[in-house]
Amino acid sequence: MDTLSHIHRFVPGADPAATPLLLLHGTGGDENDLLPLGRALSPGAALVSPRGRVLEHGMPRFFRRIAEGIFDEDDVRRRAGELAGFVAGARAAYGLGAPIAVGYSNGANIAAAVLLTHPGVLAGAVLIRPMQPLGSTEPVRLDGTPILMLSGARDPIVTADDVGGLAERFRAAGAAVDHRTLPTGHPLTQADVDIARAWIAEAAKAIDPVR
């Protein structure tokens, strides 16, 4: 729908009981990139896939950065608010429950920012190669919100200390965090898909479909 804030793709779900997925691409991706991943992770789920509204040398992103790994935190907060508003609009437009976000790289980081600044918008999240999007935030409660974090042991972009700190912030807010480090680098792998598919199937059992 053109009336929503983000250009996006919507794929109706074949299984009304399946938790919708919010698909958030990495730098240079668009609203089409993660649709195959969404179908693989939860074949019957409705899929909502927005395009990031920031351009970096012509490449879509969800927020601005100053350099590799250094984010414009004011923009992160603003774009997280925009995305939270988009989720609310998409839920109303398409008759959806709260989604599980599935984000890769920049998409994982904006999902993390939404969790830290707009709790309750997401039913859960799969964060693939995330890092801390904000240096500090107001305390929030994420009581029981399921979050899967998938890091790469050989990731040249994200340090173990950084992603470990993000996991601890989520735990301190009361989220149910499952953080795994895989023997890989930054790119998405089949192992990520296999782990996330099984995790979503289990996490969805505890999510209220009308939340």
Q: At what angle do helices 106-117 and 160-172 cross, to 10 degrees?
A: 30
At which residue do the structure tokens 């890091």 appear? 151
* φ/ψ of residue 104, rounded to 5: -115, 125
Is residue 42 among the annotated active site residues? no
Is residue 30 among the annotated active site residues? no
User: What is the signed CA dihedral for 169, 170, 174, 175, rounded to 10 degrees?
Assistant: -170
Single out the residue of 119, 166, 113, 112 nearest to residue 140, CA to CA: 119
At which residue do the structure tokens 């939270």 appear? 84
Of the residues 105, 118, 179, 192, only one is catalytic, namely 105
Is residue 49 among the annotated active site residues? no
Of the residues 49, 151, 155, 179, only one is catalytic, namely 155
Single out the residue of 24, 104, 27 nearest to residue 58, CA to CA: 27
Active site residues: 105, 155, 186
